[in-house]
Amino acid sequence: MKAVNVPMRALLGLPVPTPLGGRLMLVFHTGRRTGRHYRQPVSYVTRDGVLLTPGGGRWTLNLNQGEPTRIRLRGRDISARPELVTDPDLVESLLGVMRAANSSLDRFVRLPRTPEGRYERIPLEAAIRHGLCVVRWHPDGGPAPSA
Q: Which domains does the chain have, with CATH numbers?
A: 2-139 (2.30.110.10)
Give the E-state strand segments of 3-132 in sequence order.
Answer: 24-30, 37-43, 45-47, 50-55, 69-73, 76-85
Question: What is the C-alpha to C-alpha distance for residues 65 and 84, in angstroms, rounded to an integer?
Answer: 7
DSSP state of 142: S
Q: Which residue has the higher pLDDT, 147 or 34?
A: 34
pTM: 0.88
DSSP code per residue over 7-35: HHHHHHTSSS--GGGGTEEEEEEE-TTT-
Question: What is the C-alpha to C-alpha distance for residues 73 and 51, in angstroms, rounded to an integer?
Answer: 10
Give the model confidence (pLDDT) of 6-23 as tens digits. 788 888 888 888 888 889
pLDDT at 69: 96
